[in-house]
Chains A and B, each alone.
Chain A
């Protein structure tokens, strides 16, 4: 027996090697790099690190960098709009799709399909779907606009400007700085809602039906059952889903890269894209500066996760 419990090293060797070489090592190096000015061209050695050492200079530059500020605001806007939208839609979908009815499994799969499609495919596809003149989104909007215009004409009035605009033109989406971020958000909600829905479904299915039946017997109507029974019991799932969605949204990259490249006029530039541009995209590369961006982003994520973890006690029902 004893021999069996000894020598776990063999089993741990692959993951331990991977952990040290591709995880722990790089994390430490990344922290170090954020205090260094490094163009990525010279081979990296202790010598280069010492020569390029700038202390907190990279972080100070971030403080004054207008593009960083813009990317920061854009990221917050993206997270603040896309995550609540996704969560709310997903919750509504999961409630509807939790009951057995004809075709429910097929419909679930339909909502999930975009989730298995790569962000690159989603981004490139939506660039085309959002084409202002021939894309299906604007075709549909123009149809709605035309219908509204006819409605106005039907009652003998002149249609207001926005109806005419909708009927003849519609948003310019990715080419218009005022609309571009909304275009990205639309694509990301389309791609992400199925995944969130699935996690809600799993949470709903773990709720004991007896609670709901008891509430029914006590005369609770559907809304009361939802707000006083289902939602509290689902709150751990809501917490987790919001947290994961938020962490993911802060790191949005592929969608923006493929849809707009950050433009027009940096209106969709986000932190991850700016990091990429600084480290790998625009010559001269500034890998130390980009590492500082990485650590600021990490600290934001860490602080928000911690905050949510603390606030969790106020609204998340702990299972006994």
Chain B
């Protein structure tokens, strides 16, 4: 019986490993294709890994479209969203955790209720708003709507509630203003929560698609996801080039994830289990 159990466990682990490696096949296929000779991808039998590596696909994707600019846009948008979200989220969360004011409960509930509103209800009027402001095709439109995020406020509030009040009270006794207390005492202590929220927002920003698709229309203002999606037709005869672009575009989120895995996972599980 013991032996049977061990065998069963071994089989399960083997299956999980096999499944995990199977998950990598599409990534492997992406990189392999990006290194094949242009135009050779439909040759039969199919080469799993190219015998000669063709790096010119990478050169071509960098020159055929404003790939560098798209890359930069994605970086600016992801970082901008992260910065805004952390700033407003931490400040809002602090207000809800530490201040008492009239209508506080109702306002918090109203903020939380926006989590129920799916993004698709917002995009049409938001687009109209952006156009009336003359912000279509600018970084303002791409970044500024990230100013409010109920989830960020909720997460930061939870964190500030857990901070011992005594730390701030000591600062009050020393005559610090609320802003000084927030900036010098509470915020530095919130570093782990900020890292969680930051990793999460950066990845979401880098990967976002629907809003950047709607609110940009010039070649120069596209983010990487939108650029590749819109221009896939141009590449559909050049799969090697498209896969080179995808490889380059997939690299940053995967790197960020591998470096900050702990924070990312915290954000996910916190958001889903307590949210």
Binding site for B on A (CB under 8 A): 1, 3-8, 10-19, 21-27, 29-30, 33, 40, 43-44, 93, 96-97, 101-103, 106-107, 109-114, 116-121, 123-129, 133-136, 139, 190, 194-195, 198-199, 202-203, 206, 237, 240-241, 244, 247, 250-251, 253-254, 257-258, 272, 275-276, 279-280, 287, 290-291, 294-295, 297-298, 301-302, 305
Contacts and interface: CB of A to CB of B under 8 A. Distances in A.
A96 B228 contact: no
Contact of B228 (A3, A124, A126, A199): A124
A121 B179 contact: no
B73 interface: no
Contacts of B84: 14
Interface of B: 9, 12-13, 15-17, 19-21, 23-27, 29-30, 33, 41-42, 44, 46, 84, 87-89, 91-92, 94-95, 98-101, 107, 110-111, 114, 116-129, 132, 144-149, 153, 172, 178-179, 181-182, 203, 206-210, 213-214, 225-226, 228-229, 232, 239, 242-243, 246, 249-250, 253-254, 256-258, 261, 264-265, 268-269, 272-273
A296 to B, nearest CB: 11
A139 B123 CA distance: 41
B268 A18 contact: no
Q: Is the interface of B mostly helix, strand, loop or mixed?
A: helix
B246 A121 contact: yes
B16 A93 contact: yes
B89 A202 contact: no
Contacts of B273: 199, 202-203, 206, 237, 240
B181 to A, nearest CB: 7
B44 A120 contact: no
Which of the listed residues A16, A22, A30, A139 has the most CB atoms from chain B within 10 Å of its own CB? A22
A129 B26 contact: yes
Contact of B148 (A18, A121, A194, A198): A18
19 contacts: A4-B181, A8-B99, A11-B182, A14-B84, A14-B88, A15-B147, A22-B122, A22-B126, A23-B148, A33-B125, A96-B16, A103-B17, A110-B21, A116-B257, A121-B250, A203-B273, A250-B118, A257-B209, A301-B118
Given A14-B147, A22-B145, A119 B207 contact: yes
A156 B114 CA distance: 66
B29 A4 contact: no
Contacts of B107: 12
Contacts of B119: 251
A301 B121 CA distance: 12
A15 B229 contact: no
A30 B253 contact: no
Given A11-B99, A117-B207, A124-B229, A107 B118 contact: no
